[in-house]
Amino acid sequence: MGGRLVVVSNRIPTEAEPSGGLVVALHSALCAKGGIWIGSHPDLSEAPSAQLQPIGNEQRYTRLAFQITQREHEEFYLGFANSVLWPVCHRRGDLVDFKRSFQNAYMEVNKRLARLIVDVVEPDDLIWIQDYHFFPLASELRKLGFTGRIGFFLHIPFPTLGDLGALPESANLADWLADYDLVGLQTRADVARCLEMFRSQNQAEVMLDGRIKYGAQVFSVRSFPIGIDVKAFARAASQTPTGADLGPDMRGEYILGVDRLDYSKGLPNRFRAFAQYLEKRPDKDRRVSLLQIAPPTREEVMAYKQIRSELEELAGRLNGTHAELDWTPLRYIHRNINRDLLARLYRGARVGMVTPLADGMNLVAKEYVAAQDPDDPGVLVLSHLAGAAEDLTEALLVNPYDIEGMSDALSQALDMPLEERKRRYTACMDQVEKTDVNVWCNSFISALEACEAPLGWGNSTMNHNPRKTLKPAT
């Protein structure tokens, strides 16, 4: 089918060959199909940008950036996106920090971006919008008369009906989502929560074919579990013999955690569970350490300052209690580390500990599995509240609020016989391969292409998209 792919995401790569699964998948899709990638410029501007500007030297498709101001960075990005929507979606209504100016900036940025996008798209282009920064973008594009296909993918959990109550009334997720043709979510559980939200609305009807009719709009909500570039990750993990370049301290047995330092990732409870494991372990001479890589993120937001202090205090207490003169049980690295080194660290770890309190998918869980040596694999301990748990059912699933349960799971993982480790690894790896990032990307694009064909530009003053009136399912 014709039409270019137009991807819109908050971050846009600037390097010629970008790294990182998601970025690479979108990059390859754009290289194959041609099109445009629109994202936020890494530099802030004095005044809101009046046009999109080319960024980087990519020849195979066009990269365009929009600039936001310092105030918009504070109110749109750190404010509404990350101090309101992020906690609401991660079941942390208690951390919501709402100001009206945040929502105004969020709407302003989305409106401006829509105006910039309509200047560069054609009616038969496929627009694919990524994530919670841009929930209202389709509505804004429709108001400007764009009637072509627009898809949306939410990388984080879809909020529960109860948590949605923490959003201001004017931030109406149902209205915003209904202007897309296809809404992609990470898991079946996310789809169920999204349908529950629509069922609670008088004007919504879930049709027999699963599509939703909302007023005059008809659209689909489906799960597309995101994955990783499995082959590239496995290759990086096996490049150097484990331990050889990691320093003498990493040659012993270790448990690995890798997470942006975010309150959704459940790090304090993970530290507590490790402390409990150390206290209860029968063989006090067994020196298993926990290596926690936790690069900084959104450091200006108060809730992130708090989680950092809490972790530093816990780490200090844990090492103060359990360290020996020649052994530090917890290594906590608050820095970003090189991706290839990370892959090798995954492979060397006896246990990968992924215990978020809420997570859209969690790619670390999939990376840990992909990095293992099939002849001597480590064990994934995985929170049942991570999206990844829906498919990785052969990981050791834990409740991240149950410290004793996680401590027991650590003992079980560390003592697990080789045959059981292999069996669990094979089942998990099978799932990781089936849902790799190219499958994710291609299946979303195919589903969006299969949505009804566009009719062309509408009247720029209209509020509704006439194309999306109810037609029998095909």
Residues in touch with ligand GDG (CB under 6 A): 22, 155-156, 226, 258, 260, 293, 295, 336-337, 339, 342, 359-364, 367
As a whole number of angstroms, the distance between CA 10 and CA 12 comes to 7
Q: How far is the CB of 295 from ligand GDG (least distance, A)?
A: 4
Residue 357 or 379 with smaller CB distance to ligand GDG: 357
Q: How far is the CB of 101 from ligand GDG (least distance, A)?
A: 26
* Of 140, 162, 154, 143, nearest in space to 182 by CA: 154
Q: How far is the CB of 9 from ligand GDG (least distance, A)?
A: 11
Tokens of 318: 């844990």
Sole residue written with tokens 């993982």: 413
Residue type, 33: K
Q: How far is the CB of 342 from ligand GDG (least distance, A)?
A: 5
Residue 220 or 355 with smaller CB distance to ligand GDG: 355
Q: How far is the CB of 443 from ligand GDG (least distance, A)?
A: 14
Residue 156 or 369 with smaller CB distance to ligand GDG: 156
Q: Is 430 a catalytic residue?
A: no
Catalytic residue, candidates 155, 262, 391, 436: 155
Residue 52 or 234 with smaller CB distance to ligand GDG: 234
Residue 293 or 382 with smaller CB distance to ligand GDG: 293
Q: How far is the CB of 260 from ligand GDG (least distance, A)?
A: 5
Q: Is 175 a catalytic residue?
A: no
Residue 116 or 182 with smaller CB distance to ligand GDG: 182
Residue 7 or 293 with smaller CB distance to ligand GDG: 293
* Of 474, 457, 346, nearest in space to 122 by CA: 457
As a whole number of angstroms, the distance between CA 413 and CA 398 comes to 12
As a whole number of angstroms, the distance between CA 39 and CA 8 comes to 6
Q: How far is the CB of 257 from ligand GDG (least distance, A)?
A: 10
Catalytic residue, candidates 179, 229, 259, 359: 359
Asked whether the beta carbons of 121 and 146 are under 8 A apart, the reply is yes
Residue type, 463: N
Q: How far is the CB of 26 from ligand GDG (least distance, A)?
A: 11
As a whole number of angstroms, the distance between CA 30 and CA 9 comes to 13
Tokens of 8: 């819109």
Residue 306 or 336 with smaller CB distance to ligand GDG: 336
Catalytic positions, written as ranges: 155, 359
